[in-house]
Structure 1
Amino acid sequence: LKTMKLSRSSRLKELPNLSNAKNLECLDLHQCVALLELPSSISNLHKLNFLETNHCRSLQVIPTLTNLVSLEDIKMMGCLRLKSFPDIPANIIRLSVMETTIAEFPASLRHFSHIESFDISGSVNLKTFSTLLPTSVTELHIDNSGIESITDCIKDLHNLRVLALSNCKKLTSVPKLPGSL
């Protein structure tokens, strides 16, 4: 089994133990609106490279994913009950944490030297963006958020090609930008 798509399984509340799905590369849980948590056995899926939990409105817990050395792409859009950012592996390339209630991101993100695309659009509880990001970031999306300020750490993103800050109604100023823009 390489791909498991359970998207739009609106009554699915829990997943089985996934320990035996050793070859799983793609886990798509898009719109599993009743799903409460991901099982801890997900940390055994060493070949998993794509995880999508978009619009899992009831999802409260994502266990640590740091063991998932192949994981490159995480999509967590519209996980409205997810309060804290899960521990994820440093090899992530694309990270989309849109429309959540997460108010801050861990400082450890600065060590994620492979991340290229970071999207935190729709993060209404996010007031400031002070997280130091690795210089590998080429796209940063903070659209439709409650952000009030961005620290000058953004000037160090020398590979940044896209900076999206539209509809940030509380944003009062933008710091010095990198020359790559």
Structure 2
Amino acid sequence: NLKKMDLSRSVHLKELPDLSNATNLERLELGDCMALVELPTSIGNLHKLENLVMSNCISLEVIPTHINLASLEQITMTGCSRLKTFPDFSTNIERLLLRGTSVEEVPASIRHWSRLSDFCINDNGSLKSLTHFPERVELLTLSYTDIETIPDCIKGFHGLKSLDVAGCRKLTSLPELPMSLG
């Protein structure tokens, strides 16, 4: 019946235990797990997981691919500076926050994340372009990234309420923006 697991400040934790039997887990917090290099494939068995929080996992490099966490609604990854990729977790994600990572691109499947309303990637010099995001997004933060352009398709995002591109030193132009921002 374990619903929440908080392993924060387990600074010497190198690997997570097998999570296959933690099928009722709804929230997993991994803050300051500085020695953690990868998440186990058994994370894919957490079908009730709604919230995944990873902060300052400075050694984290690998998140397994081909995991479908159907209940996952929020992902927060901050200060995971070695993380270069992240998988297609779930199409039910509502909030995605990537701050201080080395993520180079978002998965193309993100355009099908129809519930994603808050999409934030900031403090990430590895992100050069962003070609995919869902039309339903309301809050789009791309601040302090190295993106050069924003796709023209943004003008069709009629629900967009906020666009933050502060500190994008390589951004050369903005496309026509949706009326919802005005």
Which residue of structure 2 aligns with residue 174 of structure 1?
Answer: 174
Deviation at 1:89, TM superposition (A): 0.7
**In structure 2, distance between residues paired with 1:168 and 1:87:** 26
Which residue of structure 2 aligns with residue 161 of structure 1?
Answer: 161
**In structure 1, distance between residues paired with 2:80 and 2:20:** 24
- The equivalences for 1:138-153 within 5 A come to 138-153=138-153
- Counterpart amino acid of residue 45 in structure 2: N
**In structure 1, distance between residues paired with 2:29 and 2:86:** 19
**In structure 2, distance between residues paired with 1:99 and 1:156:** 29
Larger mean CA deviation between 99-108 and 45-54 belongs to 99-108
Secondary structure class of the residue paired with 1:180? helix
**In structure 1, distance between residues paired with 2:142 and 2:66:** 24
1:4 and 2:5 matched: yes
Secondary structure class of the residue paired with 1:109? helix
Is there any run of 5+ residues in structure 2 with no aligned partner, and where? none
- Counterpart amino acid of residue 18 in structure 1: L
Which residue of structure 2 aligns with residue 128 of structure 1?
Answer: 129
- Counterpart amino acid of residue 113 in structure 1: S
| Structure 1 residues 58-88: Cα deviation after superposition (integer angstroms, max 9, x where no partner) | 0011113642111100011121111222221
**In structure 2, distance between residues paired with 1:57 and 1:25:** 24
- Counterpart amino acid of residue 32 in structure 2: Q
Which residue of structure 2 aligns with residue 58 of structure 1?
Answer: 59
Deviation at 1:96, TM superposition (A): 0.9
Secondary structure class of the residue paired with 1:29? strand
**In structure 2, distance between residues paired with 1:92 and 1:149:** 25
- Counterpart amino acid of residue 123 in structure 2: G
**In structure 2, distance between residues paired with 1:124 and 1:116:** 23
Provide the alpha-carbon RMSD of the alignment.
1.2
**In structure 1, distance between residues paired with 2:64 and 2:131:** 25
- Counterpart amino acid of residue 90 in structure 2: P
- Counterpart amino acid of residue 147 in structure 2: I
Secondary structure class of the residue paired with 1:120? strand
Which residue of structure 2 aligns with residue 87 of structure 1?
Answer: 88
Larger mean CA deviation between 56-65 and 108-117 belongs to 56-65
Larger mean CA deviation between 26-35 and 80-89 belongs to 80-89
Indicate conservation of the 8 Å contact 1:99/1:122, yes or no.
Answer: yes
- Counterpart amino acid of residue 87 in structure 2: P
Which residue of structure 2 aligns with residue 112 of structure 1?
Answer: 113
Instruction: Flag as ranges the 4+ runs of structure 1 deviating above 3 A.
Output: none
Deviation at 1:118, TM superposition (A): 0.5
Which residue of structure 1 aligns with residue 46 of structure 2?
Answer: 45
Which residue of structure 1 aligns with residue 98 of structure 2?
Answer: 97
TM-score (norm 1): 0.95
TM-score (norm 2): 0.94
